[in-house]
Structure 1
Amino acid sequence: MSPQQRRADLIRTALDVFSRTSPDQVTMEDIATTADVSRALIYRYFPNMAELRAAAVNVAMRELAQRLVPDANLPLLEQLRAALGEFIAFAEEYAPAYISLLRGGSIVATEQTEAEIDQVRAQVRRLLLERSGVDEPSARLDLALRCWTAVVESAVLMWLEERSMSRAELQSWLLDQLLAMAGASGAGDAETRTLVRGIVPDSHE
């Protein structure tokens, strides 16, 4: 196995472990045992767990960014539903890590990981605007979309911990929140009306 392949394999092993255990609680020994290698080999590629966690988050965020790009041939409402489904599935797949990232005080949440998460948030807003036909969002609409992405993250976090509804119900609720928040950003806002009509063509917002 080449050094590049070995490094990628160790990151993949770390992600596998993080899907079952909070990254805060994972040690180099855990990774070595799961990968069936020595700790010394891991230290050749990562000087400490912080470096390995950061590399794993980077890979996970790149994978999430790809998964959040829905089929452009679908109606926008179905694109949103599909993207939300992918996000929920991702959060569920890496539930311990997702919870650690969004809970305050976690050693996983660093400036670097927050920057990478912000890039995914920005991608979501950009795709939503582009595919609804909004060239440049107003300040009110931009704020509404930023608040909605925060609602999505928080709601999925609570859902993972409580499972108070089905995944389909959560997707529908989050779509309803988007329409409600966009609509509340101002009936006189042309950009908002364009976005809402893009999602729900028969809407008179």
Structure 2
Amino acid sequence: MGSTSGAAERAKPAAGGARPARRRLTVDRRREELMAAALELFSRHDAEYVSIDDVASAAGASRALVYHYFGGKQELYVAALRSAAAQLEARLRPQGGGRPLDELAGGLTRYFDFVEEHAAGFAALLRGGPANSSGEIGEVVDAVRHRLLKLIMERMRVEEPGPVLRVTLRSWIASVETAGLDWLERRDIERSALERMLVGQMVALLGAAAEHDPQVGELLDNLVKGEASRSADQGSTGQERTGTDG
């Protein structure tokens, strides 16, 4: 994960001047603050360029305290990523009761709520991906992706996807991750429009996959019928209201 040599020099931008005054905190609260500081730094710099001194300075703690809680930078990095992953997964727990595409859209809204409110954690989590695909770091990122895949399958009422559907859903998850990072960087598209676009992408991907697997075709038919049924219900309700008003 890199050495802490030259930390004082690298810590200058992170410190932003004088080190914040230390406060008495509970063990859990101090750990949370150290992980939050680490996530912020890891979201902006490759892990190898972030030192324990940088984290300590950003959190207003001592280098010795960081080592006391985490043992070293690798342990801190993994703990910080696990914290971000747990927060994201908590946001994505299904609400239940809606049509599959409605629930997918709701899940995307909660996903982007996390992206917007915890930008550092989201960026750091995904920055820990391909370049660190082995070991504990890779396991943290992969666990989040597997959880997302499982949640999507549950919402679509699919117990065991075939290879075509599995590849399609994993490709869509990668698109959502990329869209989240791009939106954080640029913010040149309305969030609601981006969420609608991603739902549309899911439908389009399933349509392409349906040409190669009847299972996907049946799934897509059910999704489309659900949407058509909702549109019909809404139209009927609107007509009833119009008639009543008249």
> C-alpha displacement at 1:119, in angstroms?
1.5
Tell me which of the two structures has the higher relative contact order, counting C-alpha pairs closer than 8 angstroms and 6 or more residues apart.
1
Deviations 1:5-63 (A, max 9, x none): 54345324434x34974464544334334433322111112232222111000111111
What is the TM-score normalised by the length of structure 2?
0.68
User: Counterpart of 1:91?
Assistant: 115
One-letter code of the match for 2:113?
A
Q: Distance in 2 between matches of 1:143 and 1:106?
A: 18
Aligned residues: 202
Sequence identity, in percent? 34
Deviation by residue 1:87-140 (Cα, 9 ceiling, x = unmatched): 223233443554455459997766322222211211222222222222221211
Gaps of 5+ in 2: 1-24, 229-246
CA-based RMSD of the aligned residues comes to 3.1
Which deviates further from its counterpart, 158-167 or 19-28? 19-28
Take 1:157 and 1:5, find their aligned partners in 2: how far apart are those partners? 28
Is the Cα contact below 8 Å between 2:129 and 2:137 reproduced in 1? no
What is the aligned partner in structure 2 of residue 153 from structure 1?
177
Name the amino acid aligned to 2:141.
I
Unaligned runs of 5+ in 1: none
| Higher CA-based Rg | 2
| Contact 1:76/1:199, CA 8 A, preserved across alignment | yes
Correspondence for 1:32 = 56
Distance 2:124 2:58 in 1: 21
Cα distance in 2 for partners of 1:62, 1:89 equals 15
Residues 7 and 108 of structure 1: CA distance in aligned 2, closer, same or farther (over 3 Å): farther
| Alpha-carbon distance in structure 1 between the residues aligned to 2:100 and 2:187 | 27
Q: 1:188 to 1:143 in 2, by over 3 A?
A: closer
Matched, 1:121 2:145: yes
The offset of 1:196, in angstroms, is: 2.4
Q: Distance in 2 between matches of 1:182 and 1:87?
A: 21
**CA distance in 2 between partners of 1:154 and 1:20 (Å):** 15
